[in-house]
Structure 1
Amino acid sequence: MERRRGPGGILTGMTANRAPAAGENGADEGAGTGAGSGSVVDVAIGRLKRRIETGEFAPGHRLPPESVLAGELELSRPSLREAVRALAMAGVLDVRRGDGTFVTDLRPDRLMSALGSFLDLAQDTALDEMLECRKVLEPGATALAATRIDDAALDALSERIERMRTLHDPAELVREDLAFHADIVAATGNRTLQSLVSTVSNRTARARVWRALVKSDVLAWTHQQHMDIHGALRSRDSLAAFAAASRHVNDVQTWIRDRLSAVRDPSS
C-alpha cells in the first residue's frame, strides 16, 4: 500500500481501499502511538464521514457501541477513539460521558460543511502563520484607530454590531465580522495597514466560518467582544482598545488551534 503524507499529518493519495481489520495481521492495533498513526486515523475519519454523508448516521443519531462500530468499520478500537475525538473537536460528534456518542444536531448541510472545512483546515499549514499575523496586526491597528476614529465611524460600527445580532447564517456573520474589523482599520487612515490586515483576515475567514458553524454561543460571544472593542474606541482609550482586540483575536486563535490539533497530532 502506497502512502503519501500531506501537510499537517493528513494522509493523501492512498491507493488501498480499506484499512486492515482489527485483529488481522498488520491491523492498526496501537494506532496513535507510532509515527504512522495519522494515516490510520485518517481512514477512520473518512469511514465515519461517509456514514454521516449518506444519512446512515443522521443529526442526533447515537453511534453504536465502540466495539460494534469498530467491527463494522473494520478498525481497531484505538483508531476509532482517535477519529471520534477528532470529529468531536470538529463539532460533528458530541461525546456525552456515560450516555454515548451522538451526531450533533446541526442541519445536514451545516454538518457536512463543518466537517469538510475542518479536514481542509487541518492541512492548511499557513493557517497558523495567518492567525499569528492577525494577532500581531489587529490589536495594534485597533489601538491606533482609538486615537483617530471620528463619531460618524463610531456610529457606523454601532449599527453594524446591532445588525450582526439578527444574523443566523455563519457565513453572513463572518462577513459582517470581517467588515467590522476592516472599518476599524480604515479609521486609522493608514492604507498600507488596511491592505495588510485585509490580506490576513481573508486568509483566516474560512476557519472563522467553521467556528461559527459549530460553536453554539458564537453570536453572543462575538457581540460582547465587539461591544468591548467599540466601548474602548468610543472612549478613545488606545490601551483598552489594544487589550479588547487582543482578547478577541487570542480567543479565536486558541479555539481553532486546540481543535485542529486533534487531527494534526492525534496523540496529543
Structure 2
Amino acid sequence: MALTDDAIEKIKSMIISGELQAGSRLPKEDDLAQRLGLSRSSLREAVRALTAMQILVTKQGDGTYVSSLEPHLLLQTLSFASDVSQGDSALQLLQVRRLLEPSATALAATRVTDADVAALREILDRSRAAVGVEAFIECDMEFHRALVALVENPVLSMLLEILSTQTQRVRILRGTRVGRAIEHVHREHESILAALTARDAQLAASASAVHVAAVEQWLAESLREERLERSDAD
C-alpha cells in the first residue's frame, strides 16, 4: 500500500505543478513508470485509485486523462461518507450543514426572482402531496437543491448535498415519529419560502437555521436514547 500511496502522490504532484493539466493525457504506462521510478503494478494501482477519486478519467481505447478537476466533481466522491455516516459522524455532518446552509439561503433571498419563487412553491405543493417517506425526501432534496442553486456556486451546492444525502435523510426521518416530523418539515419549508418571497435575507437565514437545527436535534435525541438503551441493557 505504501508504494501505491507514493505513486498517487507523485502523479498528484505532477498535476499540482502544472506538468499534467486538466484534460491532458497521461504518458504511456512504461514511460510514466520509468519517469516516476515506479513499478508498472504500483502505477496501475495509483491510476485506479485516482480514477475512483475522479482526478483521472479513463477513456476506452484512448488512454487515461486528467479530469476537468472541477471542485464540485471531485467532491462527489465524498458523498459515500455521508451515506454511510451514523451516530456522531452523521451529527457532525449536520452541524457543518447548519453553518453553511443559512448563509446560502440568505444569499438566495437577495437573488430570487418571482419565477424562482413559483418554482419553489410548486415543489412544496408536490411535497405536500407526496406519498411515503422516499417520495417526500425526493421533494425535500429538490427544494433544497433548487434553493441553493440560486446562489450559482456549484461547489457550495455539491457540498451541501453531500452533507445530507438522500440515504442519510431517509434514515434520520425513519428514526423519528415520521408523520409528526414531516409536518414540522412542511412548516419549516413554508417559513423559508415566505422569507425568500419577502426577499428578507436575515429572516431567510433564521428560517433555514431553525430547519437544519431541528433535524440535528432529532438525530441528537435519537443518539441519546440509543445510548440509554445500551446502558440499561448493560
Which category describes the TM-score, using the shorter chain as reference length?
A: 0.5 to 0.7
Structure 2 counterpart of 1:250, one-letter code: A
Equivalent residues, number: 148
Unaligned runs of 5+ in 1: 1-119
Give the conservation status (yes or no) of the 8 Å contact 1:164–1:176: yes
Q: Secondary structure at the match of 2:129?
A: coil
Q: Aligned partners of 2:142, 2:86: CA distance in 1, in Å? A: 27
Give the direction of change, closer, same or farther, for the CA distance of 1:230–1:123 in structure 2 (3 Å limit). Answer: closer
Superposed CA RMSD in Å reads 2.3
Give the direction of change, closer, same or farther, for the CA distance of 1:163–1:234 in structure 2 (3 Å limit). Answer: same
Unaligned runs of 5+ in 2: 1-82
Give the direction of change, closer, same or farther, for the CA distance of 1:134–1:122 in structure 2 (3 Å limit). Answer: closer
Q: Displacement, 1:180?
A: 0.5
Q: TM-score by structure 2 length?
A: 0.58
Q: Displacement, 1:209?
A: 3.6
Q: Does 1:153 align with 2:116?
A: yes
Per the alignment, residue 144 of structure 1 pairs with 107
Q: Does 1:208 align with 2:172?
A: yes
Per the alignment, residue 240 of structure 1 pairs with 203
Per the alignment, residue 40 of structure 2 pairs with none
Give the direction of change, closer, same or farther, for the CA distance of 1:200–1:163 in structure 2 (3 Å limit). Answer: same
Task: Note the alpha carbon deviations across 1:28-70, whole angstroms, 9 max, x for none.
Answer: xxxxxxxxxxxxxxxxxxxxxxxxxxxxxxxxxxxxxxxxxxx
Q: After TM superposition, what 4+ stretches of structure 1 lie above 6 angstroms from structure 2?
A: none
Give the conservation status (yes or no) of the 8 Å contact 2:195–2:203: yes
Q: Aligned partners of 1:127, 1:201: CA distance in 2, in Å? A: 9
Which is helix-richer, 1 or 2?
2
Per the alignment, residue 65 of structure 2 pairs with none
Name the stretch that deviates more: 180-189 or 202-211. 202-211
Give the conservation status (yes or no) of the 8 Å contact 2:175–2:222: no
Per the alignment, residue 254 of structure 1 pairs with 217
Structure 2 counterpart of 1:141, one-letter code: A
Q: Displacement, 1:122?
A: 9.3
Q: Does 1:175 align with 2:135?
A: no
Task: Note the alpha carbon deviations across 1:109-131, whole angstroms, 9 max, x for none.
Answer: xxxxxxxxxxx989544211111
Give the conservation status (yes or no) of the 8 Å contact 2:106–2:205: yes
Give the conservation status (yes or no) of the 8 Å contact 1:130–1:204: no
Task: Note the alpha carbon deviations across 1:76-104, whole angstroms, 9 max, x for none.
Answer: xxxxxxxxxxxxxxxxxxxxxxxxxxxxx
Q: TM-score by structure 1 length?
A: 0.51
Q: Aligned partners of 1:197, 1:121: CA distance in 2, in Å? A: 16
Give the conservation status (yes or no) of the 8 Å contact 1:165–1:219: no
Q: Secondary structure at the match of 1:223?
A: helix
Q: Aligned partners of 1:211, 1:183: CA distance in 2, in Å? A: 26
